[in-house]
Structure 1
Amino acid sequence: MAPRKVLMLEFNELCPALLDRWIASGDLPHFARLRATSDSFVTTPDVEDSALLEPWIQWYSTHTGLAYDQHRVFHLTDGARAPHTDIYRALIAAGRTVGSFSSMNVAPFASPGSFFAADPWTEQGDAFPPALNTYNRFVSGQVREYSNASASTGLADQANFLAFLLRHGLSAGTVSAIARQLASEKLSDPRLSYRRVAILDRLQADVFCALYRRQRPDYASFFINSTAHLQHSYWRHLDPEAFTVRPDADEIGVYGDAIRFGYRAMDALLGRFMTLAERQGALLIFMTALSQQPFLRHEEMGGQHFHRLHDIEGFLDRMDIARLSVDPTMTHQYMARFETTAQRDAARERIAALRMESGRRLFDFADKAEEEAQLYFGCQIATRTEADATVIDDATGATLRFGELLYRIDAIKSGRHHPDGALWIRTGSGVRHAGQASILDVFPTLLDHFGLGMPEGPERRGSSLLPRLGMQRAAA
């Protein structure tokens, strides 16, 4: 008998403790039903160093079964070029069909009967089938520039995006949700625009479900990040007593329910995916990779703020920096690519010449390997900085206004990563396991489920969880 198909839901950074809280209060009925019919685990990451507790590292470890010290994929854009065998390639090599829809830091693939859409931060026009590029490129632009009021999308791109959605699963429910969202911003409070992240999730689900029903791959993953974003931005509104810098009553009135809103929106999507998996006869797995907790560093200086370039291309042109390409990645960071390492080094030196009057450099850098002609950089000014603050260019002696180059993102960082994650496998058992599982166990568990052995290459340190699953697995 062929193994059951698997539908993997990657709901990034949902917190086991908040899931417990809001399941108990009745806010998350679908999560409650899923946990009651699943083997559920709290997961541990593959690293102890908090600097490595990043989703683009942890999801890459999950997808490959390799720990960070084995794969060394450190940046969000590294996974697309890394050579390791991940679950998608392992299954394709065994003649299976797969789908990856926005899963983080996955290398692109193109295989008959399969589909691939990169995560919004690493999108390079390499979707498969190629028609997905219309959708993925538009979404990527919106996600990367969501905070930038000066960024705009042309009418032609908007029209192409809408036409794509109409042909690829746009639902009446999503259209209605868009109308309600816009009405709430206009008639109630424009600050409720933070809830637009749930609209993107609905659009993602519409397109994914249409693809999934049409192609019915043996294994497919679906990734969304909206609630992780809300937690990073609004944890101090959820739990103001934990912070020194506390929002006022007006802000709490607007944003105090933002995180619970995100969980409830994901709960509604989960109900949809549970129905999809049941109708397609697929085993449903829910995973978060890691979670979050209050971010309390920098409270003494007013909390950590982020500043972002108005126009990354215009900035590099202004600095006379030639490059092959440059892309925003996360929040205040960018990845630039060059023809040669000499060009990379010259670009770093030129950007490093910018400093505040205090002497603090405007940008910091995360070095790549010496042989790679790439530069990962971001604004390192974490204190609230006004637009008229002076920036000095040591290369030319010129002075600039801070606001000419950068703008401040409104939200103060409030959440940071926590090592605990959730892994629920819908076996029908309802067993809540006391012992933790490693994220490195997921790769061998999936291979075991499909009757496959480990690929050649570095030894995988995880173990299959199948022997630990409840007795009702066969009947689930």
Structure 2
Amino acid sequence: MASLKVLFILFDGAEWDVINPLLKRGELPHLAKFMREGSHGSLRSLDGTALASPILWTSMASGKLPYKHGIKDFYDTANAVRCVRLWEIFEHEQLSIGLFGHLLTWPPRPTKGFIIPDWCARTPETFPPEFGFINSLNENKDWQHLLSSGLRSMKHGMRPATALVCVREALREKLFHPQRLDSYYRQRLVQLGIHVDLFVSLLRRYQPYFSVFYTGLPDAVHHQYWQYLEPEKFPNVPKPEVERYGGVIPEIYQRLDRVLERLLRETSPETLVVIASDHGGEANCEEEYRWADIHTENFIEALKLKGLMTAFRVGRKVYLRLRNSATPLGSTEEVAAFIRQAVFAASAHPVFEVEVTGEREMTVETVYLKEELEGQSLRFPDGRLVPVEQVLRLTPRISGNHSMNGILLLRGPNVKKDCEITGASLLDVVPTTLALVGRAVGRDMDGRVLTDAIEPHYLETQPVKYIDSYDQLLGKVTNETIEDSDLGMETVKKRLEDLGYIN
């Protein structure tokens, strides 16, 4: 047990329907080898909740449903998590941890190891503090920023080969001024290379018992490039653009395959390796290309709730959250009623469907096709007229959406080889991990141990143990009131807009 370690490799949004054709063509050799040496299958995301990564990754890390862990959206922080996450169990045993990019790890705290917060971090802090520059890599501003961020990484473990790529791409941006879709994925590939170098350097320095490497790259390119992967599902995709960008998503997965090989070189046969995604990806043709889409920030301004409400969009639905229980429009129910009463000025037909989903939460979606809305105006209950184009988006923004099934792969001591897992939920990842490293599973966890992926002899000699609650054992406070701060909110909003979740 002393030599056993755990490594989580998290590929946000990774999708089997993209992976499988590449496997058949032999283009993901390291993932194929991993599958032969371990167990793999689809990983069901959460039904009845927004397929938003902070919610999903927190459920995976805790084995608990959202109503237990308390996370609502991209604007929450680590302070809002109301239950123990997997690494805290190991910290309680005085074991070292290393977290690189896992969502909701800001603000970081001192630990025996390192914590590099995720792209939702509001400020650059890390632990240890000298790695604060890493967060600036998420900005993707211009070639000068790309170059300066890369050079700062040199003294912390970035390889010369990665530095050369960084310089090459910076020069390319300066000289040729590429279009957004040409630079969008290339900048992120540079960022990925730097992140992998830094993570490997940190692994070697701290030798953590439990470590996590996260990248949001699959999800980011799904949103922007899916129409070029499956142009037949979308109207009027220009053929030259299909030829230019049709290989972007496969290229990203091929790069992730090489990342996998690099990270696995840092492990031993005694390392339990878990590869997972929080959801999958699919074409967004129905929602994005037919139905009108709410322009989130303008919509909030039209409600006169700027600063009092946050929003993000997944598919057709916009998820709204009041930051205070009292607003100029009244309670949550009164805000919902106000939105329901918004109508077309010409016909007095209602525009929005609204569902109140919590004490301060609701979902909103339009009930009209885009072609029915051009030139219209909306009338709000207070009599204001607003052009429809101000609060609704009538042109496509993203072409890839989230799907319900992600990926799960396990390899390590006592994991079955070449085994296909069926019926797995992201809630099952932590219970299964705990069982494989000889720890008790919390009875208050909502997931189960995936015994079909574990060697029978191990279960015979090490039957699954249980504990009532790690929250109780570690003294986790579950009813504290979280202060809602504006600190860094604009930074988070800019990153969400870049990914297509708002505006």
Q: TM-score range by the shorter chain?
A: 0.7 to 0.9
Distance 1:183 1:376 in 2: 46
Partner of 1:60: 58
Partner of 1:245: 235
C-alpha RMSD of matched pairs (Å): 4.6
Partner of 2:153: 165
Q: CA deviation at 1:119?
A: 2.5
Contact 1:101 1:208 in 2 (8 A): yes
Q: Does 2:280 correspond to 1:291?
A: yes
Instruction: Supply the AA of the counterpart residue of 1:462.
Output: R
Question: Aligned pair count?
Answer: 447
SS of 2:42's equivalent in the other structure is: strand
Q: CA deviation at 1:139?
A: 4.1
Instruction: Supply the AA of the counterpart residue of 1:222.
Output: F
Query: What is the aligned counterpart of 1:205 among 196, 203, 228?
Result: 196
Partner of 2:39: 40
**Structure 2, unpaired ranges of 5+:** 460-503
Q: Does 2:408 correspond to 1:422?
A: yes
Partner of 1:24: 24
Q: Does 2:425 correspond to 1:438?
A: yes
Q: CA deviation at 1:383?
A: 4.0
Partner of 2:88: 89
Taking structure 1 as reference, are residues 410 and 171 closer, same or farther at Cα in structure 2, changes over 3 Å only?
A: farther
Instruction: Supply the AA of the counterpart residue of 2:427.
Output: L
Contact 2:343 2:378 in 1 (8 A): yes
Partner of 2:216: 225
Taking structure 1 as reference, are residues 244 and 166 closer, same or farther at Cα in structure 2, changes over 3 Å only?
A: closer
Taking structure 1 as reference, are residues 104 and 467 closer, same or farther at Cα in structure 2, changes over 3 Å only?
A: same
Listed as ranges, the matches of 1:338-353 within 5 Å are 340-343=324-327
Listed as ranges, the matches of 1:295-374 within 5 Å are 295-298=284-287, 302-303=289-290, 323=307, 340-343=324-327, 369-370=358-359
Partner of 1:178: 166
Contact 2:432 2:450 in 1 (8 A): yes
Query: What is the aligned counterpart of 1:195 among 179, 185, 197?
Result: 185
Taking structure 1 as reference, are residues 322 and 225 closer, same or farther at Cα in structure 2, changes over 3 Å only?
A: closer
Contact 1:184 1:192 in 2 (8 A): no
Contact 1:134 1:160 in 2 (8 A): no
User: How big is each residue's C-alpha offset from its partner over 1:34-79, in whole Å with a ceiling of 9 and x where there is no partner?
Assistant: 2232x22213426444x54444333222111123465464433456
Query: What is the aligned counterpart of 2:266 among 272, 276, 286?
Result: 276
Contact 2:137 2:146 in 1 (8 A): no
Instruction: Supply the AA of the counterpart residue of 1:20.
Output: N
Q: CA deviation at 1:224?
A: 1.0
Instruction: Supply the AA of the counterpart residue of 1:294.
Output: A
Distance 1:356 1:270 in 2: 52
TM-score by length of 1: 0.74
SS of 1:115's equivalent in the other structure is: strand
Partner of 1:7: 7
Contact 2:69 2:83 in 1 (8 A): yes
Contact 2:321 2:362 in 1 (8 A): yes
Partner of 2:475: none
Query: What is the aligned counterpart of 2:252 among 262, 267, 274?
Result: 262
Taking structure 1 as reference, are residues 286 and 25 closer, same or farther at Cα in structure 2, changes over 3 Å only?
A: same
Q: Does 2:120 correspond to 1:129?
A: no
Taking structure 1 as reference, are residues 211 and 270 closer, same or farther at Cα in structure 2, changes over 3 Å only?
A: same
Distance 1:67 1:334 in 2: 18
Instruction: Supply the AA of the counterpart residue of 2:281.
Output: Q
Taking structure 1 as reference, are residues 115 and 387 closer, same or farther at Cα in structure 2, changes over 3 Å only?
A: farther
Q: CA deviation at 1:24?
A: 2.0
Query: What is the aligned counterpart of 1:76 among 74, 77, 88?
Result: 74
Distance 2:311 2:127 in 1: 21
Instruction: Supply the AA of the counterpart residue of 1:119.
Output: D
Q: CA deviation at 1:322?
A: 7.3
Contact 1:57 1:74 in 2 (8 A): yes
User: How big is each residue's C-alpha offset from its partner over 1:277-303, in whole Å with a ceiling of 9 and x where there is no partner?
Assistant: 24x96433211233223334247xx44
SS of 1:7's equivalent in the other structure is: strand
Distance 1:134 1:327 in 2: 28
Instruction: Supply the AA of the counterpart residue of 1:175.
Output: A
Contact 2:45 2:279 in 1 (8 A): no
Distance 2:304 2:153 in 1: 39
Instruction: Supply the AA of the counterpart residue of 1:34.
Output: F
Q: Which moved more, 1:280-289 or 1:388-397?
A: 388-397
SS of 2:402's equivalent in the other structure is: strand
Query: What is the aligned counterpart of 1:447 among 434, 447, 450?
Result: 434
Q: CA deviation at 1:232?
A: 3.0
TM-score by length of 2: 0.71
User: How big is each residue's C-alpha offset from its partner over 1:160-184, in whole Å with a ceiling of 9 and x where there is no partner?
Assistant: 8456423322332323333444566
Contact 1:12 1:225 in 2 (8 A): yes
Q: Which moved more, 1:423-432 or 1:114-123?
A: 423-432
Instruction: Supply the AA of the counterpart residue of 2:425.
Output: S
SS of 2:409's equivalent in the other structure is: strand
**Structure 1, unpaired ranges of 5+:** 143-151
SS of 1:458's equivalent in the other structure is: coil
Q: CA deviation at 1:102?
A: 1.6
Percentage of pairs with the same residue: 17
Taking structure 1 as reference, are residues 116 and 460 closer, same or farther at Cα in structure 2, changes over 3 Å only?
A: same
Distance 2:131 2:378 in 1: 42
Instruction: Supply the AA of the counterpart residue of 2:81.
Output: A
